[in-house]
Structure 1
Amino acid sequence: MAQFSTLPAELRLLIWEFALPARVVEMGEPCDPDIIPEEDLRQAWILNKKHPAIAYVCWESRQIALAKSKLPRGVILAPDSITDARWWSKSTDIIHFNAPPEIINAAQRCRLADGLLDLMKVPILRKMVSISADVVHPFLRFRNRSDLPRSLVWEVICATKICIISLHTVCIRATVEQARELGLFGNGDEPAQLIDPFDKAAIQRFRQLWDNTKKEVSSVKFFDTIDTGRFTFRVERWLAEMSAEYIHFKWTSPPFPTPNPRDITALLRRYPDQRRSPEAKQYLVGFPRLELRIMFRLCPPALVD
């Protein structure tokens, strides 16, 4: 540390900035009925909100960490906003909107709607938007969609042009030391990760970590199906259903003589591969680019014991 302190101040500041974790910063507390006990998910969420490790190294590093999590000049959050001020962090690349509980009251619905609309500001800040599939259209068929207006959700998604959709959440009850050994979760400082479900190498690394931990039913089912044709079919079916919802949202009086939107949406829900047909494609012009991801969360046992 003595040698580091002799470096020019400008260089030290650059090093501290480089050491900041690139976190997925979340809006709203997550809700997932498959993760039991529910407190595990809440504690994992709290872990992701804590200041990074470099905030506790020294005064200089702490100032950098705190400065990077301040709101931009001129931006003010309402006192009752669900948006965590840290979601504006300059070291953050992705802003994720969590699925709320299935049953919410009118006041909660209004706050959630305001939080969802906040996502429309994200592209201006050159950040990516991520939304839980349960907010838009549940990936798992037995799930209920969140109680937010469909038109509002689609308005936000279409405004982003490129939107990450988190299909499923996997909680891994590993220690920070175990994560560090495999170089996962940013050595424990990035406890929420959005991973491409078709990136087999990355999924395998998370599975390796998960194999040595306490397992829950939902994560077992996920790892049992992720490499199978069944999972691929479910993704195709979900994309077709999303396409049908988009057509329903956008087209009330289409300029196309035939077929009409209802026929196309019914066809998509019955035959997912029709998403690539010329008849469907004419209705899907402007359909936002969706990047599908799996949310992996680090939930150290010490947090839940």
Structure 2
Amino acid sequence: MSSPQADFPLFPQLPLELREEIWRFCLPNRVHELDRPLAENVYDVDEDHPAWCHLQRTSLVNGYPPLISRVCRESRAVAHETGRFLPLDQQDRIVEGEWYSDTLRHDAWRDAARDSVYLNWTRAYEVDFYYTEGDGSPLEYLAKQVSPTKGDGSMMAQYLDANFGPDYTEVSTSVYHPQDPNKERDSEALKQQSSWLVVTRVIVVHSDLQSAAATGLFGLLGDSLVQIVDCSNATRIRQYLDLAESCEQHHQVAIRQNLQQEPLNEVEQRLKWLVKRTQGSEELLSAMRPGIMFRLCTQQCDRRV
């Protein structure tokens, strides 16, 4: 049997409407990061246990226009139907009464019809980065960016409690402050959406782009480098974990990640404790679902030097 053709020379002869639908099918569904992640705040790192990825290169590439926007005028026009960069006159502009931080990104492409929005910010960032204290909360800012029709917001679990992790229990020592001035604002922001994905783990897949794209796990063309998967989708999560494990097994890596798949009931229980402790009740629990973030890094920054 002959192998399938890699090209389709009759494509230009198709009706315009059909060609445009094909271009739309190629557009990625991305996680749009509102702010830059910092490895030292995402991972529990120190001199003896450095982070296994710098993270920001992935965020940068994930914010480029989709690959099909560079094919031809027709594909670029389709990409611009719902995608764009923030206008230059709005970049880095502090809006009065709205939360702002030096980590915010205004230079990333966003497709309002396809992309979900995600906030990396946790209270650990407050030590090193400027933000407008009292002028709105980070979750208020996130809620404003969420599509009213998609309900596609997500955040780090550590936003609610910086000590959240694999060993988090009902009686864990917490750095959450009940008198936090943003507590009421955060609670109101969370009530604005019926569904939130709360990222409980961040896994990095170190692979070359061609190999990762062939799996389909990072978009049809491999240009959707950040993915968040609901923990209830065990099969999908297993595919990502297997890919990450395969990449680590075939290379000499400096630090190996914990790629064990956690039982759903255990991560749901930890999320329940988190919501109850930080919100004072389980009222918002029904709107929160645990998820895992998978990031594709093509820089091989995990390799042993």
TM-score of the superposed pair, with normalisation by structure 2: 0.71
Give the residue type in structure 1 aligned to 2:21: L
1:149 to 182, 189, 195: 182
- The residue number in structure 2 matching 1:243 is 276
| 1:89 and 2:103 are equivalent in the alignment | no
- Secondary structure of the corresponding residue to residue 165 of structure 1: strand
Structure 2 gap segments, 5+ residues each: 1-7, 95-99
RMSD: 3.6
Shift of 1:64: 2.0
Q: Give the conservation status (yes or no) of the 8 Å contact 2:123–2:159.
A: no
Q: Do 1:44 and 1:297's aligned partners in 2 also have CA atoms closer than 8 Å?
A: yes
Partner of 2:17: helix, strand, or coil?
helix
* Mapping 1:122-161, distance limit 5 Å: 122-138=146-162, 139-140=164-165, 141=168, 149-161=182-194
Given the superposition, is the C-alpha separation of residues 72 and 27 from structure 1 closer, same or farther in structure 2, using an over 3 Å criterion? closer
Match of 1:266 in 2: none
Q: CA deviation at 1:232?
A: 4.0
Shift of residue 105, structure 1, vs aligned partner: 6.4
Match of 1:272 in 2: none
Q: Distance in 1 between the 2:230 and 2:129 partners?
A: 35
**TM-score, normalised relative to structure 1:** 0.71
Contact 2:272 2:282 in 1 (8 A): no
- Kindly state the Cα deviation for residue 86 of structure 1 after the two structures are TM-superposed: 5.3
- Within 5 A, what are the aligned runs for 1:103-122? 103-104=125-126, 108-110=130-132, 113=136, 116-121=139-144, 122=146
Shift in Å at residue 44 of structure 1? Answer: 1.2
Letter in 2 for 1:149: N
Matched residue type, 1:195 = V
Structure 1 unaligned runs (5+)? 248-282
Report SS of the residue matched to 2:83.
Answer: coil
How much does 1:23 deviate?
0.7
- 1:171–1:296: 8 Å Cα contact kept in structure 2? yes
CA distance in 2, matches of 1:238, 1:14: 40
The answer to which structure has the higher helix fraction is 1
Residue type of the alignment partner of 2:287: R
2:224 match? 190
Aligned residue type for 1:290: M
Tell me if 1:181 matches 2:227: no
Q: Does 1:7 align with 2:31?
A: no
C-alpha distance 148-3 of structure 1, shift in aligned 2 (>3 A): farther
Aligned to 1:299: 297
Aligned pair count? 264
Distance 1:54 1:156, change over 3 A: same
